[in-house]
Amino acid sequence: MHISGQRVLITGAAGGLGRATAIELARRGAKVVLSGRNDLALKELAIELDGEVVLADLEQSADVFRLCELMADIDVLVANAGVGSDAQLTLDREAIDGVIDVNLRAPIHLTTEFSRAHIDAGRPGHVVLIGSLSGVAASPSTSMYNATKFGLRGFALSFRQDLHDTCVGVSLVEPGFISEAGMFANNDIELPAGVRTKKPIDVAVAVADAIEKDLGEVVVAPIELRLASTLGGVAPGLAASVQRRLGVADRKG
């Protein structure tokens, strides 16, 4: 699907990876619709990119369903919004529900409504879900983030199969550690020696490539992190032992 001229809704567009993605897609000719909670940041970016703003808090079901009503008029959905705060064993019910609402429930609702509207109209469209390597391999102190990203990966890969031979494509973009912006950069995490990072523009380019080439799953990470996540996926017990030896839990936050 060509990006130029398409109307693209990006959730979590006020900063971080969402902002970088909006800038890259606008550079490629997209008409960007910026969604999030930070009114001022969204309006400033909209002026810069000649875009639109739709305020929405994805923890609020009314806001999610209001976004769902826009799906018929959107050509591409980039479900980027996410929260990553985890407090080991001290999460209360409200915090647990909030992470599930933003990271999993909202993107599922938006994706299914987008797909239904486009298939009913016979109109081509594409969905990009922003996952994480935390949806491939588990790590300590991030149980809810892992849970929601594992769930998002399962949904994306299964739903892509369901939509085979329809006019709607689904892609999953999975960043590793990203410098300069996003949750990793904001949480001051110390990486083990030899582990490198990628930049927000790398994620933005991956999103654009996924749309234009209808890619199923795109990992944005250096080779050593890809190998580590593969190990974590196929041998979680061994990966957990390695992480304990490296003191991964002590490096977080």
Please name each of the domains of the chain with its CATH number: 7-251 (3.40.50.720)
DSSP code per residue over the chain: ---TT-EEEETTTTSHHHHHHHHHHHHTT-EEEEEES-HHHHHHHHHHHT-EEEE--TTSHHHHHHHHTTGGG-SEEEE--------TT---HHHHHHHHIIIIIHHHHHHHHHHHHHHHHT--EEEEEE--GGGTS--TT-HHHHHHHHHHHHHHHHHHHHTTTSSEEEEEEEE--BSSSSHHHHTTPPPPTT---B-HHHHHHHHHHHHHHT-SEEEES-HHHHHHHHHHHH-HHHHHHHHHHHTGGGG--
188 has pLDDT over 80? no
Select which of 145, 159, 177, 184 is catalytic.
Answer: 145
Q: Across the chain, what does the average pLDDT equal?
A: 89
At 241, the pLDDT band (50, 70, 90 cuts) reads low
Residue 223 has pLDDT above 70, yes or no: yes
For residue 243, is pLDDT > 70?
Answer: no
Higher pLDDT, 23 or 248: 23
Mean pLDDT of 107-126: 98
Told to judge if 161 belongs to the known catalytic residues of this protein, a careful annotator would answer: no
Q: Look at residue 251 and tell me whether its pLDDT is greater than 60.
A: no
